[in-house]
Structure 1
């Protein structure tokens, strides 16, 4: 994927909202991103406000009329929320049902009961990966940290030997696997096939999490040898349910949307006939909206009712799940507005013109852009959204597989070297009772390994698929 087709060049040739040349546009992009970085890192402004101001600044520096800049931003915001907002909401509902019903505890306890000794780090990866599918990263940490500390203390394990695999599982899911917000936005921005992206994401995620989790944890445990803190993480937010859902039913519910989307991707490849009855059915049931909606409705029975929840309790759980994602939806929407402002200003065309003679492969270019924004802002989601907007024109005219790999390259880049400007850095530091230096040697290095390994496996896949 090193050359750009004529179709790709034409896709970015829409009339821009400014007549600025490439030099001015390049400076405008740097200025817009700098404004976002400064507002987030120095002034501690909410990412939604920072992205909004940064989008307007981009338009001003590019010489675009303010009215047209506002129109571009609002159009991008609306389109992004319309495309992924419902999916994020459904994912939040499923995650809340999983946590409040005790389904997450059932998965954790069942797997830990069968894992001993050397198998424990692998068990932690498995737990974190399954739990991390429907849950946001921060929620997954709150659920798993008490388990990590308890296992480390009772089994006399190194805290890093148990904790790093769990963190790796959560982080890989967050950066590479839909329905997490970052990958969903990248899929939407690049018009990628969600099923194919999910399937290839799983292929990339498995070896990546093995390297960054159980294998790296051996070295992390040598570098940082500390006992598990005496105080556990904050208690879970809801009262314990009367009964726990069964393990099989819980896993079935969590994996149901993944299975439906993967079936759709498989049928699209094997049948490849939109008029075929089988493909018409899978196009519906395997769409992200229907797949997640089906999982939520099934989860109300397999998780909620199985835990003894009344209809009122289920309704309250759903309601409580939506409030915390308001900020995420606003950030994602503003990121979509920033992306659209980039495109409408002609930045995509500029990148195409400049990069068509570069020797840098498109996948590597996408990864590097995401890395730069991640290092500057500390946010994987902001890095994914911004990078997707910048490289979206490069995806025009590419194959379904190439577009999916581009999404994964951006996702891998968005995880690179979490440091002091990332909220996740401080969350891990405080929960594990580490110093800043110890957190850099463990969590930050782990994130970098995920990013680099993820890119490596994406590049390998690009050679064989």
Structure 2
């Protein structure tokens, strides 16, 4: 069967062995109503009632189960089973990833990567190098942490070179956002992989392949256009308030980029600005501490991804499952093992290697956990919501409908994620909920297209961030923009990422 037809549910349903479906508690129409009302309940509780997503997903599961006429005990069992299995498969990975990011931040490894890479290029290459830095830092860091680390650098670089905030900032935000939505070990892609039972190695390879052109288009190229809509240059107030919002709480001005900017560009010249970029490498080191080498910091970030990629490549090259090389990389490429190895590397080479005491290095790792506790609970609650959907029989109703109308599984996954993203504002909630809804379609797809379905859902989860998304306000305050300016820059960038990324997913489905 050709690769194109494999992306369509109806084309493969007849060739797939039917799976045992859970008992239905109601008719198809009632189950679909239960699904819609359950999702709406989650959206309303998050956006209107302002209830925490963890509790909203729990209550949404209860609403869904009640309308589907599930017995109360069955609703509780379904939710707790889904919650527990998701915690075991994803929660551990989130915790290990947070440890890597925290050690990278506190040891100075992240600053070393930024200063070295920024200091090695001229003004013309800055948008591209900022996208690359963000993509590299985006591998282990959560989006919010990456923004906190990068935005002060973006403002400083723009100030020293005379480039606008958008030309430097949009590429950095694009790199962080694309990696967050498409590439494991971030919570969204990892959860979708677990819920859809996709192959992690293939998803990782496809994710990186699709992420590269998506970052280029939504980053340095789009930045040229966004700069015309939001022409902003940093001024003194922006530099002082970086990390605490704009000049006022309603989107204070970051500078219009007229007289001051023209003076900066004209008086300093390219040689002066490039010298200032090189000066970024000479950052002070805390007394009693040693600076981190650039290569060490890069290894710390990329080690888990390299191990998982090596495992994926070994599976493709070595067909014998009992071969020694296959078994070794099967172990090392397991996400939990790969991240654990990376954490140990960070402890010894970033923590102790930078002059931290063993107690301080251990405390740094421990300090990363409280910040991700909420994320783990939300992701796990999403797994519980998904399991309630499955056990109520909603997933199979959607699968049967999609099979009958020859609806693209990839398009369905993207659209469902888009709708939930627009409603809840959370990329993670959109990913895990959409993956749960389209999960039953996975049995009709090839291994490659199952991995692409994960990426389609991830792309949909990034669509048009607006006022119900915490990331929207984070970007607005850091750059000192108004709401409308944030929509014309950040929201447009997120939409471009979603649409362009999904376009590349569809292209990949034709060839793989």
Q: TM-score range by the shorter chain?
A: over 0.9
Q: Which of residues 191, 197, 204 is equivalent to 1:191? A: 197
CA distance in 1, matches of 2:16, 2:116: 50
Listed as ranges, the matches of 1:258-337 within 5 Å are 258-337=305-384
**Residue of structure 1 equivalent to 2:13:** 5
8 A Cα contact 2:196 2:435, kept in partner? yes
Q: Could you tell me how far apart the structure 1 residues matched to 2:22 and 2:162 are?
A: 64
- Deviation readout 1:213-248 (Å, 9 max, x if unpaired): 00000001110012222324339xxx9572221000
Distance 1:148 1:167 in 2: 10
How do 1:67-106 and structure 2 match up within 5 A? 67-106=73-112
Please list, as runs of the form range in 1=range in 2, the aligned pairs for 1:146-161 lying within 5 A after superposition: 146-161=152-167
* Separation of aligned partners in 1, 2:37 and 2:408: 26
Alpha-carbon offset, residue 398 of structure 1: 2.4
2:463 to 416, 424, 427: 416
Q: What is the match of residue 429 of structure 1?
A: 476
Residue 300 of structure 2 aligns with which residue?
253
SS at match of 1:396: helix
Contact 1:7 1:396 in 2 (8 A): no
- Deviation for aligned residue 1:7: 6.7
1:320-355 deviation digits (Å, cap 9, x = unpaired): 011111100100010000000000000111011111
Unaligned runs of 5+ in 1: none
The equivalent of 1:45 in structure 2 is 51
Q: Is the 8 A contact 1:187 1:407 kept in 2?
A: yes
The alpha-carbon deviation at position 132 of structure 1 amounts to: 0.9
* Aligned match of 2:271: none
Q: Is structure 2 residue 134 aligned with structure 1 residue 125?
A: no
Counterpart of 2:242?
A: 233
Alignment correspondent of 1:36 = 42
Cα offsets for 1:60-90 (capped at 9, x unmatched):
0111111101100000000000011111110
Partner residue in 2 for 1:360? 407
Please identify the structure whose Cα radius of gyration is greater: 2
8 A Cα contact 1:182 1:384, kept in partner: yes
Aligned-partner Cα distance in 2 for 1:365–1:255: 33
Number of aligned residue pairs: 460
Q: Deviations over 1:357-413 (max 9, x none)?
A: 224311111100100100010000000000000011111142221111010000000
Structure 1 pair 69–4 and aligned structure 2 pair: CA distance change class (3 A): farther
| Distance in structure 1 (CA, Å) of the matches to 2:315 and 2:13 | 24
After TM superposition, the structure 1 = structure 2 runs for residues 209-224 of structure 1, keeping only pairs within 5 Å, are 209-224=215-230
Secondary structure of 1:184's match?
helix
Shift of 1:10: 2.3
Contact residue 413 and residue 457 of structure 2 kept, 8 A:
yes
Give the structure-2-normalised TM-score.
0.88
Task: Tell me the CA shift for residue 5 of structure 1.
Answer: 2.2
Matched, 1:115 2:162: no
Partner of 2:210: 204
1:307-327 deviations in whole A, cap 9, x for unaligned? 111100111001101111110
Q: Which residue does the alignment assign to 2:170?
A: 164
Task: For residues 148-185 of structure 1, give each alpha carbon's deviation from its aligned partner in whole angstroms, at most 9, with x where no partner exists.
Answer: 00001111111000000000000001100101000000
Query: Given the alignment, which residue of 176, 180, 184 partners 1:174?
Result: 180
Rounded Cα–Cα distance in structure 2 between residues aligned with 1:162 and 1:420: 23
Cα separation, 2, equivalents of 1:188 and 1:7: 24
Aligned to 1:15: 22
Cα pair 2:242 2:479 within 8 Å, conserved: no
SS of residue in 2 equivalent to 1:144: helix
1:4–1:394 CA contact under 8 A, matched in 2:
no
Distance in 2 (CA, whole Å) between partners of 1:110 and 1:321 is: 25
User: Quick check: 2:402–2:408 contact (8 Å CA) kept in 1?
Assistant: no
Q: What's the TM-score, normalizing by structure 1? A: 0.97
Q: 1:27 to 1:286 in 2, by over 3 A?
A: same
Report how far residue 4 of structure 1 moved. Answer: 3.7
Kept after mapping to 1: 8 A contact 2:13/2:403: no
CA contact (8 A) 2:83 2:381 kept: yes
